[in-house]
A and B are shown apart, each in its own frame.
Chain A
Amino acid sequence: MAKTKVKVHRSAMAKREERWAWLFIAPPFIGFMLFMAYPIVFALVASTSKWTGVNSLLGNIVGLRNYIKIFSDAKFWKSMATTIIYMIGIPIGMILGMTIAMGLNRKIPGKRALTTMYYVPVVSSLVAVSILWAWVFNYDYGLLNGIYKFLTGAHGPNWLGDEHMVKISMIIFMVWKGLGGTVILYLAGLQNIPRDYYEAAMIDGANGWDKFRNITLPLLSPVTFYVLITSLIGGFQVFVEVQVMTPNGGPNYSSATVVFYLFEKAFTNGQLGYGSAVAVILAIIIFIITAFNFWGQDKWVKTID
């Protein structure tokens, strides 16, 4: 009798707990459905239509026509190429970031101040620092050309107004903007490497390079992997700095990225269907590259375990 009572009691509690469990699951689940699943499905449907935002979405379904068109769309490929060229900044940022982190990983005076300085661009508004850098890069009045003229007496390059130079300028900006984040991550990674590894290596007679090559680099590989993945994804999504520094996409569209093109198509020219198709293609590319990276990580990412 008592047993049954206990049993009933338990099941009520279990039920209550289950309800609570559902309640806890609900916010992220609803959030995911509302803000992820629904927009994705919407974008997928929109990408097969001539939707303009004004006209009927479902009345203008054209199948895969947008996708077919994208493959022969010169501006899309140009912006894709530019996006990929900008990624030259990723290894540069990683090497610089690792070097600076190793420098900061010693007992040096002003370490905190330096770390803060490197991190300031990361927490600054992207729009604000882009406006600032547009002035740094200014052909006649910019800081860079001011220094250049002071040193050489000649007029410096047209940082944002030249088709090739503008890409270099953007890469410089992106490296500067992202450096702080990379430094902090590497610094954390370095501090996680146990001292005894280095001591053991020293006893074995390893020099500085050996230690870097065989201890630091491999044990930083998870950080490197993380930085690589996030930079690649971020690299495909570059938009704001291009929009602010070169509002028309640069001379002969030379600074425009895929997301810039997508935005221009969708919101300036009212082709939301086509813009959605560009977004879907971009997502697929990012998926493939990210999946490839995860697949390949066994080959080079080492952990202490």
Chain B
Amino acid sequence: MKKRFLSIILASCMSIGLLAGCATTTVEEAGEAAPADAPAATETAAETTDSTTSETLSGEGDQTIHVFLYMQEHEKDIYQKLIDEFVEEHKDQVKEVVFEVTTQDEYNQKMIANMTANDMPDVFYVGPAAVRSYVDNGYVLPLDDYVDADTIGKIWGTTQEIYRYDGTNIGSGSLYAFPKDLSCFAFAYNQDLFDEAGLDYPDPNKPYTYEEFEEVCKALTKDTDGDGEVDQWGVACADQWGMTPILYSNGVKFLNEDMTKVNVANNPQLTEALTFYTDLTRNGLTPSVEQDTALGGYQRWLDGQVAFYACGTWDVAAFMDPNTFPYKWNLCGWPVGPSGDGRSHTWMGSVGYAVSATTEYPDLCAELVAKLSTDEDGQRAVSGITTGASIQLPNIVDLAYGEFKDAVADGTVPYASDVDVIFGYFDNNDHYAAALQEMDYTYNSEWFTPFWSGVFNIKNGDIEVQDYLNQVEPEMQELLDEAIELQNSATK
């Protein structure tokens, strides 16, 4: 009897260890390999720091501001300089600015820990999808009262819309964050491979149609070393990021207007576009599903194995670096489907600096985020005008169209010469259009996961497009319902 009692005690201890352990160890361990929210992080992971770093600067005042962000090492140097300047400018008030930087993977977990402990940093990031819940739960401060309208007016209209919220809708009301960046996911081609194949370069003013794109891809897919196996492909796309621009360019929307219903099973535009997209692989114009598991498209693009690949605004510096990408390349539009509005579409992304609603120094913090977002020297640095490495477009519209474009034209900023493709997407002109993805407006993007993560089954020929869409819709709808429920859950 005694022994049995002991057994139960021991067993309890062991399983209790699990329950308590789950909350702690997994969080730490996962940071090293968690899937990133944006491709920017996965593709430049090598440059990010492994652990949190924080630096402290001293002024003569008594106010301490805690800034908590994620970014890459070389970006950190740029922002560190801005913060140093800020401390210098306000040294009578500020004692120190604690600038803590972590990896993108760990950021959310640390923020949840901060929220749970009611110990929010004064300045932190908020992504488009989080604006509603952060505001509803009272974490972030409206910035309109602290920053003058001129400063707000300098930034891209899109970023103003993303971070405005009136309690019901995004796009109007108070401004809750200043953008760190506004990015877009453009398309690029390897000019050397075009030259070898004797093909004309894509016209930046007239993106390919689906048909034209397929023809070009056929001409660029070949066996270069004559061993009987194809080793150069027309295009490679990551299903999670590179598929959607091709679908959007055929007018696809995954959700209905008010984003409450998933619309994929009965969506002819989607069926058509997804058939086109998966046929690229079925017809051998992209690496096969198996080959893709061995080496992803990004690596194959860097190795010169694929002619077309996606190019985010954050990728430009890397692609212009001959050590990373020793080929000539340029920008072009994603191919346009027959059933859309005739324009090439892609998605945009952004993250913004927000100020904690509980900060003791709202004025100072608001001024700091405005500086981080719109300081001209800072924007010259991140866009490459003064650093030669462009990881984003300037947040200031005038700077982007003026100094930045001039610097691209005269070669000060190493950049693809068809930079107008990116400006086209930002401008929503006659040929190009870009918008945030629907996932950026729902509480989480879980509902989209079953869609993109199963597309390889179509490429493999295990299921047909329409069957796939019929099969995946109920699961997507269920997850969307959950997301809506969480969005509307009781606030703090």
B18 & A286 in contact (Cβ 8 Å cutoff) = yes
Least distance between B445 CB and chain A CB atoms (Å): 8
A59 & B491 in contact (Cβ 8 Å cutoff) = yes
Given A294-B7, A294-B8: A141 and B453 interface contact (C-beta under 8 Å) = no
A55 & B34 in contact (Cβ 8 Å cutoff) = no
A267 & B34 in contact (Cβ 8 Å cutoff) = yes
Taking a contact as CB atoms closer than 8 A, the residue among A39, A59, A243, A271 that contacts B30 in the complex is A243
* Residues from chain A with Cβ under 8 Å of B108 in the complex: 267, 270
Taking a contact as CB atoms closer than 8 A, the residue among B11, B18, B453 that contacts A236 in the complex is B18
* Residues from chain B with Cβ under 8 Å of A87 in the complex: none
* Residues from chain B with Cβ under 8 Å of A140 in the complex: 291, 294-295
* Residues from chain B with Cβ under 8 Å of A243 in the complex: 29-30, 33-34
Chain B residue nearest to A275 (CB atoms) is B22
Taking a contact as CB atoms closer than 8 A, the residue among A35, A142, A268 that contacts B20 in the complex is A35
* Residues from chain A with Cβ under 8 Å of B16 in the complex: 36, 40, 283
Flag whether B38 is at the interface (Cβ < 8 A).
no
Taking a contact as CB atoms closer than 8 A, the residue among B19, B109, B290 that contacts A283 in the complex is B19
Size bracket, chain B contacts: 35 or more
Least distance between B7 CB and chain A CB atoms (Å): 3
Which residues 267-301 in A have Cβ within 8 Å of B in the complex?
267-272, 279-280, 282-284, 286-287, 290-291, 293-295, 297-298
* Residues from chain B with Cβ under 8 Å of A239 in the complex: 26, 29-30
B290 & A52 in contact (Cβ 8 Å cutoff) = no
Cα-based distance from A139 to B17 in the complex (angstroms): 38
Flag whether A251 is at the interface (Cβ < 8 A).
yes
Chain B residue nearest to A127 (CB atoms) is B32
Size bracket, chain A contacts: 35 or more
Taking a contact as CB atoms closer than 8 A, the residue among B18, B34, B133 that contacts A282 in the complex is B18
* Residues from chain B with Cβ under 8 Å of A60 in the complex: 489-490
Flag whether B279 is at the interface (Cβ < 8 A).
no
Cα-based distance from A250 to B456 in the complex (angstroms): 12
Contact flags A27-49 to B (C-beta < 8 A → 1, else 0): 00000000110011011000000
Cα-based distance from A141 to B24 in the complex (angstroms): 36
* Residues from chain A with Cβ under 8 Å of B491 in the complex: 55-56, 59
B19 & A268 in contact (Cβ 8 Å cutoff) = no
Flag whether B289 is at the interface (Cβ < 8 A).
yes
Chain A residue nearest to B479 (CB atoms) is A269
A284 & B293 in contact (Cβ 8 Å cutoff) = no
Flag whether B492 is at the interface (Cβ < 8 A).
yes
Cα-based distance from A243 to B490 in the complex (angstroms): 32
* Residues from chain B with Cβ under 8 Å of A138 in the complex: 294-295
Flag whether A154 is at the interface (Cβ < 8 A).
no
B20 & A39 in contact (Cβ 8 Å cutoff) = yes
Cα-based distance from A76 to B439 in the complex (angstroms): 23
Cα-based distance from A42 to B130 in the complex (angstroms): 24
B19 & A39 in contact (Cβ 8 Å cutoff) = yes
Chain A residue nearest to B136 (CB atoms) is A55
* Residues from chain A with Cβ under 8 Å of B445 in the complex: 269
* Residues from chain B with Cβ under 8 Å of A287 in the complex: 11-12, 14-15
B22 & A262 in contact (Cβ 8 Å cutoff) = yes
Flag whether A53 is at the interface (Cβ < 8 A).
yes
Cα-based distance from A252 to B136 in the complex (angstroms): 36
Flag whether A194 is at the interface (Cβ < 8 A).
no
Given A43-B23, A286-B18: A54 and B7 interface contact (C-beta under 8 Å) = no
Cα-based distance from A161 to B457 in the complex (angstroms): 12
B29 & A127 in contact (Cβ 8 Å cutoff) = yes
Cα-based distance from A271 to B485 in the complex (angstroms): 11
Cα-based distance from A259 to B26 in the complex (angstroms): 9
Which residues 433-483 in B have Cβ within 8 Å of A in the complex?
443-446, 453-454, 456-457, 482
* Residues from chain B with Cβ under 8 Å of A283 in the complex: 15-16, 18-19
Cα-based distance from A239 to B289 in the complex (angstroms): 25
A141 & B295 in contact (Cβ 8 Å cutoff) = yes
* Residues from chain A with Cβ under 8 Å of B12 in the complex: 287
Flag whether A247 is at the interface (Cβ < 8 A).
yes
> 24 A-B residue contacts at CB 8 Å?
A35-B20, A39-B23, A40-B19, A42-B23, A53-B112, A54-B137, A55-B137, A55-B492, A138-B294, A158-B290, A239-B26, A240-B29, A240-B30, A240-B33, A244-B33, A259-B22, A263-B30, A267-B27, A267-B112, A279-B22, A279-B23, A282-B18, A286-B15, A290-B15
B residues whose Cβ falls under 8 Å from a Cβ of A: 3-4, 7-8, 10-12, 14-24, 26-27, 29-30, 32-35, 108-109, 112, 115-116, 130, 133-134, 136-137, 139, 289-291, 293-295, 443-446, 453-454, 456-457, 482, 485-486, 489-492
